[in-house]
Structure 1
Amino acid sequence: MQVNRGLFKLDLVDHHAILGVPLDADAKQVRKRYLKIARKLHPDSLRTASDEQKQQASELLSKLVNPAYEVLSQEKASVEHKVSLRLKGEQLQKQPALLALSTEQSKKVANSNNIDYEYANALKQLILEQYESLDTVLEAIGEISELNAVYVMRQGGAPAPAENKSASTPAAQGTAATADNSTVRMKSASERREELINSFINRAKEFEYKGNFSRAIVELREAVKAHPQNPICHAELGRMYMRSNQLKMAGIHTKRALEIDPKNQTAADVKKKLDAHAKHLGKNPPDSNTPPATGVRGVPKKPGGGLFGGLFGGKKGK
């Protein structure tokens, strides 16, 4: 009872694929899915099945489903498993040729600009019939694991792997493989760097779209850490800090972006809003070295309503 696709091919037991739960599933989701599968594989649900099918269901439950649930339902084991997933993602970033895509779902995720949406949509379709037929369970687990492998690789910003296409002759296959490898070798360092930067920014925008500014900031901080001289990274981070109302940090990264590239439009727009807000409050811009305006006895004046509560939030009622 073996699966040799996706993450299984990298010597990792893909517990998420076995249960058919997303990689970010919480304990509640894991338990709900496990109970549903366990009921399907229980002898009471297989009264009309043959003895061979009952034995097959029993083995699926004892050798795959139960162990997967034990790992994902225990916090320590689950965290360790997620670390392993991250490491496999990093391995695939460095060696994308290890993953050959064979399903339309995984190809979509590999080439999507919105991987979270495509991944969730593809997974939803795959798990509908995952345990409907005992004869196709292992195949379904393999397809889901392939999808998971693409997702963990894309999360690290790796380029899409080559599709597993069949050629008319062995010679044609060899030619195609050579062409693919040449393309990878010819990709310049600047192109690879741009791909990585775009992956950070795209993930940040996905989190921004969901209203999760803190996660977006984490992604952009990683981008700045990896590419400290890139004005786009600093500008996007400054913009995200502004959206989360962290004006001082917004000013720092906006200023840095403009130092590197004075024509960066994103940074210029953020600076304009920060300056307007500071003027509205009677204070110096966040990136200025001069002290803020003070009130009685040198006590700093309190801002009125935050970034979007003052100038950008309209007047308060009297």
Structure 2
Amino acid sequence: MSFQITKGLFKFDFTDQHAILGVPLDAEFNDIRKRYMKIVRRLHSDTCPFENQAEKDKANEFLSKVVNPAYNKFSKESDRKEYGLLVDMIAKRTVKEQKTLQLESEAAKQLTTAKDFQEAYKKTLAELAEKQYESIEHSLDIIAQISEINMVYLLRKEQKGPIASQPQQASKATTTATSAPPPKAPAAPPAKSQDSFVEQACRRVEGLMSTKNYAKAILELKEALNRDPKHSKSHALLGMCYLEQKQATMAKIEINKALALNPQEPTALEAKKKLEQSTAQPATTAKGQKRGAKPQAKAGKAAADNKKTDKKVGKKTDPPKSEGFFGGFFGGLFGGSKKK
């Protein structure tokens, strides 16, 4: 069974976990957990109400492959924060790309002009969620509808006003282009918008890096690489971010990917040079300390040897304390060893 969805926020190469669980984008974790438990009771093979075994198997598969991974994104606080940042970035994209957005569900179209869009959003979503898992055959379609109203909600929240029916106008423009041959040229912009999005993401990342906001920069780059996995500069910038966060292994992986795609990528070459310097510096310092220690040891040993020599010389050359004039005279006259 295929679980692919291409409507709503899913068209941005983004998995709309809120739509899968049928909860609002601003839902608290406790509400998400309650909703998840309700879906589990509906889809689990031990508790699902479906009589047909084939339907039970589909329900159980949907639970394990779609619903459980969605809930896992919210089960940890760190994952929730990261996912929240991704939703914020998607919201900004909806504003930039709203002219190319096309809405299919009537609920999403009505939400574009609803006076109190937040109240209308929650009401519409609750109605869709109520019948979301009544039949597995229709579950994907309802998830797509919820994701469409999520997209409109984010767009209106960012714009702080009605959308002025732009998505519907885009749909009409497509119909006109089909009937009249000349306007076929506008079919090219989607590819350009994809390229321009990645380039714009790189420029945003460079700004984030200048303020040392590497965590958000990494999220931006991961989103860009989802759109274009072979973008060498994105890999290079990601490697640079990892390098700044002292993650040398991850940095090396991304830098190598960038150079494999484009051996002359300037950012990748610069990042590689910094990586080599950072890994070589500790080794050089350690060697310098060892080399510096040897002359000191030798100097210390030489000083100790000199002291010993001075003591020996002192013993041989110093005259006996009892020697005077006669001692020196008779000692020289009758010199020799004393008899015992």
Offset at 1:37? 0.3
The residue type paired with residue 145 of structure 2 is: E
Q: CA distance change for structure 1 residues 172 and 51 in 2, over 3 Å: closer, same or farther?
A: farther
2:68 aligns to what?
A: 66
Q: C-alpha separation between the residues in 2 aligned to 1:173 and 1:154?
A: 34
Q: CA distance change for structure 1 residues 154 and 121 in 2, over 3 Å: closer, same or farther?
A: same
2:19 aligns to what?
A: 17
1:162 aligns to what?
A: 167
Identity across matched positions, percent: 37
2:34 aligned with 1:32, yes or no? yes
2:120 aligns to what?
A: 118
Mapping 1:32-111, distance limit 5 Å: 32-46=34-48, 48-111=50-113
Mapping 1:1-318, distance limit 5 Å: 1-46=3-48, 48-157=50-159, 159-160=163-164, 161-163=166-168, 164-165=171-172, 167=175, 170-171=178-179
The residue type paired with residue 39 of structure 1 is: R
Offset at 1:49? 3.0
Offset at 1:47? 6.1
Offset at 1:129? 0.4
The residue type paired with residue 103 of structure 2 is: L
Matched position secondary structure for 1:156: helix
Q: C-alpha separation between the residues in 1 aligned to 2:182 and 2:114?
A: 28
Aligned residues: 179
| Contact 2:9–2:150 (8 Å) recurs in 1 | yes
Offset at 1:89? 1.1
| Contact 2:105–2:145 (8 Å) recurs in 1 | yes
| Contact 1:119–1:151 (8 Å) recurs in 2 | yes
- Which runs of 5 or more residues in structure 1 are unaligned? 182-318
Rg (Cα) greater in structure: 2
Q: C-alpha separation between the residues in 1 aligned to 2:181 and 2:35?
A: 41
Offset at 1:175? 6.5
RMSD: 2.6
Matched position secondary structure for 1:2: coil
The residue type paired with residue 19 of structure 1 is: L
Q: CA distance change for structure 1 residues 113 and 47 in 2, over 3 Å: closer, same or farther?
A: closer
Q: C-alpha separation between the residues in 1 aligned to 2:58 and 2:96?
A: 38
1:248 aligns to what?
A: none
Offset at 1:139? 0.5
Q: C-alpha separation between the residues in 1 aligned to 2:87 and 2:149?
A: 13
Moved over 6 A (4+): 173-178
Q: C-alpha separation between the residues in 2 aligned to 1:111 and 1:157?
A: 12
The residue type paired with residue 41 of structure 2 is: R
- Which runs of 5 or more residues in structure 2 are unaligned? 190-340
| Contact 2:41–2:48 (8 Å) recurs in 1 | no
Q: CA distance change for structure 1 residues 100 and 177 in 2, over 3 Å: closer, same or farther?
A: farther
| Contact 2:111–2:117 (8 Å) recurs in 1 | yes
| Contact 1:167–1:173 (8 Å) recurs in 2 | no
Q: Deviations over 1:141-193 (max 9, x none)?
A: 00000110111111110745322358489216986998xx9xxxxxxxxxxxx
| Contact 1:30–1:73 (8 Å) recurs in 2 | no
The residue type paired with residue 162 of structure 1 is: P
Q: C-alpha separation between the residues in 1 aligned to 2:53 and 2:181?
A: 44
Q: C-alpha separation between the residues in 1 aligned to 2:111 and 2:120?
A: 6
1:227 aligns to what?
A: none
Q: CA distance change for structure 1 residues 81 and 174 in 2, over 3 Å: closer, same or farther?
A: farther
The residue type paired with residue 41 of structure 1 is: L
Q: CA distance change for structure 1 residues 25 and 56 in 2, over 3 Å: closer, same or farther?
A: same
Offset at 1:41? 0.3
| Contact 2:24–2:125 (8 Å) recurs in 1 | yes
Which of the pair is proportionally richer in helix?
2
Q: Deviations over 1:257-294 (max 9, x none)?
A: xxxxxxxxxxxxxxxxxxxxxxxxxxxxxxxxxxxxxx
Q: C-alpha separation between the residues in 2 aligned to 1:110 and 1:120?
A: 14
Offset at 1:44? 2.4
Q: CA distance change for structure 1 residues 45 and 86 in 2, over 3 Å: closer, same or farther?
A: same
Q: Deviations over 1:229-265 (max 9, x none)?
A: xxxxxxxxxxxxxxxxxxxxxxxxxxxxxxxxxxxxx
